[in-house]
Amino acid sequence: LLFSLHHPLHPLLCPVALHEVLSAGRDCLVAGDSCSSDETCSPRLRTLRQCVAGDGSMKLGPGARSQCANAVSALISSPLHGCQCKRGMKKEKNCLSIYWSLHQSHLPQMFCLVILVLFYATDSWFLLFLAPTDSEANVATVNRCLDAAKACNVDDLCQKLRTEYVSACIKPLAKSGLCNKAKCNKALRRFFDRVPPAYTHELLFCPCTDKACAERRRQTIVPGCSYEDSDKPSCLIQMSMCKGDYVCRSRLAQFQYDCQPAESSANSCKQGNYGACLLAYTGLIGSSITPNYVDNSTSSVAPWCSCSASGNQRVECSDFLEYFTNNVCLSEWLPSSHHKNHAFPE
């Protein structure tokens, strides 16, 4: 599910349902175990999984639509309704497979349940850590990117996981000589999921006033392996790959919810929490739609994809890409936003 920058979120999201879900906060793994052990719930969950598994509903025969509708109605009142998954949790993919079995139904009554906040809330200390300070007016004399690297190196967890992903991303495969992108992405996800934002966000969002600093920041995720490729694929292909992966699909939904723009809002974010937007942005790193700084001349970010060959799906493709390239909620809080339209000095 993709939200357009030009269309409000509310037609696809019921605020009441969202509030109920957030208040419930049940673990989908626990709820799934509870359902599987219940003789009434278990067969209905199996039926729903058939309904949402491609052409699985064909196996249910002529009465498929009715069976699917009945399964949804029954499960809405089960422990599965309102369950959540936590970003980076153990068995995250298993948890999300249960979540999406219920929420990816194409039945109209499920539209209210498509999006909810899956992951942990942003800590208030993180918001204070990223808030602009008077001292930042003098960034030319303080290299925040270098300071961030030093801070990571003296923290055991940050140093360990950073070393792991850098090693995974630069080590070539014996046969091809190319990097192991899958291993690189997995290590990146582990780093951004497990290391506190006080370290990861200072590395990724440190302010720069020159190209050398901006290039160091751009290289944070080892883009030669995790981001760039010889050709830019269609964003539609990247979106399709993301949709087929429970973790990526969930993180994209989280990003589009937390980073929904609203120019009338005090901080340009409809949800009013720019820290949550940046946190959701980092959740996409290591996925098929990994975003990064596009160059070392500005602070513009985007996934490594293009809409040049999107044909009659150009609007859908552009809406997706503009969530990164033309999103006031995100761009307002990226570092050196005043350099958006101006090149850094040599």
First to last CA, the chain: 42
Instruction: Answer yes or no: do 221 and 241 share one domain.
Output: no
Predicted confidence at residue 61, as pLDDT, reads: 65
pTM exceeds cut of 0.75? no
What pLDDT digit, counting tens, does each position of 48-69 carry?
777 766 555 555 666 677 777 7
Angstrom distance (rounded) from CA 189 to CA 191 = 5
Q: Is residue 4, in this structure, part of any structural domain at all?
A: no
The reply to whether 257 falls in a domain is yes
Domain identity same for 150 and 166 = yes
Are residues 243 and 214 both part of a single domain?
A: no
The total number of structural domains that make up the chain: 3
- Angle of helix 181-194 versus helix 156-170 axis, rounded to 10: 170
Does residue 9 lie in a domain region?
no
What is the per-residue pLDDT for 265? Answer: 75
Collapsed DSSP state (helix, strand, coil) of residue 8? coil
- Same domain, yes or no: 222 and 252: no
CA distance 98 to 119: 15
Helices (H), the chain: 15-24, 28-36, 41-52, 64-76, 92-103, 124-130, 144-153, 156-170, 181-194, 197-205, 211-218, 223-226, 235-243, 246-258, 274-283, 314-325, 328-331
Mean pLDDT by 10 residues, the chain (346 residues): 32 35 63 84 82 60 74 78 80 80 51 37 37 42 82 94 95 87 95 93 90 92 93 92 89 91 81 87 95 92 92 91 92 61 41
Sign of the alpha-carbon torsion through 120, 125, 126, 131: positive
pLDDT for the residue 51: 76
Residue 161 lies in domain: 142-228
pLDDT at 53: 65
Question: Residue 55 has what pLDDT?
Answer: 54
Answer whether 8's CB lies under 8 Å from 111's CB.
Answer: no
State residue 111's pLDDT score: 33
Half-sphere exposure of 5 (CA within 13 A, CB side): 20
Burial label, 306 (beta-carbon count in 10 A; 0-12, 13-18, 19+)? middle
pLDDT digits (tens, 9 = 90+) for 136-187: 444 445 678 889 999 999 999 999 999 999 999 999 888 888 899 999 999 9
d(CA 190, CA 196): 11
pLDDT for the residue 24: 44
Q: Judge if 216 and 293 occupy the same domain.
A: no
Max Cα-Cα span within the chain: 72
